[in-house]
Amino acid sequence: MTIIKAEHLSKSYEYYRKQPGMLATVVNFFRRETLFAEAVKDISFSINEGELVGFLGPNGAGKTTTLKMLSGIIEPSAGSLEVLGHLPARREVPFQRMFSLVMGQKNQLIRQLPAADSFLLNKALYGLPDNEYKEHLQELVDVFDAKDILDIQVRKLSLGQRMKCEIIASLIHKPKLLLLDEPTIGLDVVAQKSIRDFIKRYNEEKKTTIILTSHYMQDIRELCKRVIIINLGQIMYDGSLEKLIDKYAPHKVLRLTFGREVMPEALKQYGDIDSYESHSASIKVLRNEAKSTAAKLLTSTLDISDIMIDEENIDDIIRQIFKRGNQAI
C-alpha cells in the first residue's frame, strides 16, 4: 500500500535583497528587489506502508522543507502530494491524527511542565480512551526506560532524556506515519544507540512508515535499507543503501592487528595503506579481492593476531556524492 505519493513537487520562497545603509532602506521601502529561492525542485517519489527510509542531504538541500510539505505545515508551490490518502495542505483533522513529526531542534513538550502533563495534553487533543492511552504510554515508557523522568520539568532534563520524551509524545496516538528530522542531533553515543534501537524495533513491530533525516550516517546504516538523497532541492538517488555503497565504495578495508611490530613496507604488496601504527594497520583492497587477500595475510609471516574485513566509512561515501552537486546518480 502506498503511503506517500509525490509527483513533480516544488517549493520556492520569495525574499528581498537590500543594500546596507539608511539611503538603501528608504529606497527599499518604495522599490524592493524581489528574488526567489527554490528549496525543492520538481521531485517525485513514493513510499510504501512499513518502509523505513533515510532522507539524506547536506544543510539546505531541501530535506526539512520536504518533511514540512508532507506534514502540511507548508504548501507546495507546484506538483501534487498525497499522504495517507489525504492532501496534507488541507490540514484535515483525520489526517493530522495519522502522523507525527519530530524535529530534533524543535520542542513540542511544554518546557515549564513535566513531560507527563504534555502526554495528557496530547491524549486530550487526540481523544484517546483512558485504557488505550495508559497501556500504550506504559509500553513506550518501559522501552525507553523513562519512568523516573516523567515527573521532572522538561527544561531540567538532559538532551537525551528530552528527546526520549519527545518521541514518546509523538507516538501516544499510534501514528501510521512518523517523520523524524534529526532525532539524534547533539546526543551522546549511548542516547543515539537507545533511540536507534527503539526506532528499529517500533518499525518492525508496529509496521509504522518512517522517514528519517540525519547527519549521523550510523543512524542511516543501522536503520535504513532504502535511502533518498537530495541536494540543491533535487533528488540525486532513490534506492538501496547497499547498492549505493557497492557502487561508490569499490574497496573494502582490512583492519589488522599484529603480535609484533610490522613495518609499513611489508604491507604495500597487499593493498593501499589507509592507516598505520606499529602494531595495527588498515589497508584498502578491491571488494572482490578482500577474502583472498585476507587469506594471504593470515598465512604470511606478519604474525597477525586479528583481522577484520570492513566497509569503507559511509560518511566518506556520502560526502563524495554530495560533491557531485545535483547530478543524478
Contact 95, 88 (CB under 8 A): yes
What's the CATH code of the domain at 262? Answer: 3.30.70
State whether 31 and 113 are in the same domain. Answer: yes
Cell 566497509 locates to 311
Helices and strands in the chain, H and E counts: 11, 13
Distances (CA, A) of 175 to 84, 194, 234, 326: 11, 21, 28, 33
Question: Are residue 70 and residue 212 in the same domain, yes or no?
Answer: yes
The answer to whether residues 89 and 227 belong to one domain is yes
Same-domain pairing of 213 and 302: no
Kindly report the backbone phi and psi dihedral angles of residue 194, in degrees, each rounded to the nearest multiple of 5, phi listed first: -60, -45
Cell numbers for 142: 518501559
Cβ neighbours, 10 Å, residue 286: 12
CA-wise closest residue to 99 among 225, 4, 224:
4
Predicted confidence band of residue 14 (pLDDT cuts 50, 70, 90): confident
Q: Is residue 147 classed as helix, strand or coil in its secondary structure?
A: helix
- Residue 8: what are its φ and ψ, rounded to 5°? 50, 45
Both 217 and 279 in one domain: the answer is no
Looking at the DSSP bridge assignments, the partners of residue 284 are: 253, 272
Q: Which residues contact 198 (CB under 8 A, 6 or more apart)?
A: 143, 144, 167
User: 228 and 138 in one domain?
Assistant: yes
Per-residue pLDDT at 273 exceeds 60: yes
For residue 153, how many other CB atoms are within 10 A of its CB? 14
What value does the mean pLDDT of the chain take?
86
Count CB-CB contacts under 10 A for residue 40.
26
pLDDT at position 31 is 80
The reply to whether 328 falls in a domain is no
Give pLDDT tens digits for 190-239: 878 888 888 898 899 889 999 998 877 778 888 898 999 888 888 988 99
Average pLDDT of span 226-255:
85
Cβ neighbours of 104 (radius 10 Å)? 17
115 and 6, same domain (yes or no): yes
> Is residue 115 one of the residues assigned to a domain?
yes
- Average pLDDT (251-255) is 87
Cell of 137: 504510554
Query: What gap in Å lies between CA 271 and CA 286, rounded to an integer?
Result: 8
- pTM of this structure: 0.77
* pLDDT tens figures, 100-149: 988 867 778 888 999 999 999 999 988 899 999 999 899 888 888 888 89
For residue 160, give the C-alpha cell. Answer: 537525551
Domain hosting residue 189, numbered range: 2-246
Domain boundary at 226, 246, 266, which? 246
Segment 293-321, tens digit of pLDDT: 988 888 888 888 888 888 776 667 777 77
The last residue of a domain, from among 218, 246, 274: 246
Residue 148 lies in a domain: yes
Backbone angles phi and psi of 297, in degrees to 5: -65, -40
Of all residues in the chain, the percent with pLDDT exceeding 70 is 96
Query: Total domain count for the chain?
Result: 2
Domain CATH code at residue 109: 3.40.50.300
According to DSSP H, which parts of the chain are helical? Answer: 22-30, 63-71, 93-96, 115-126, 130-144, 159-171, 189-206, 217-223, 241-248, 290-298, 314-322
216 and 264 co-located in one domain? no
- pLDDT for the residue numbered 324: 65
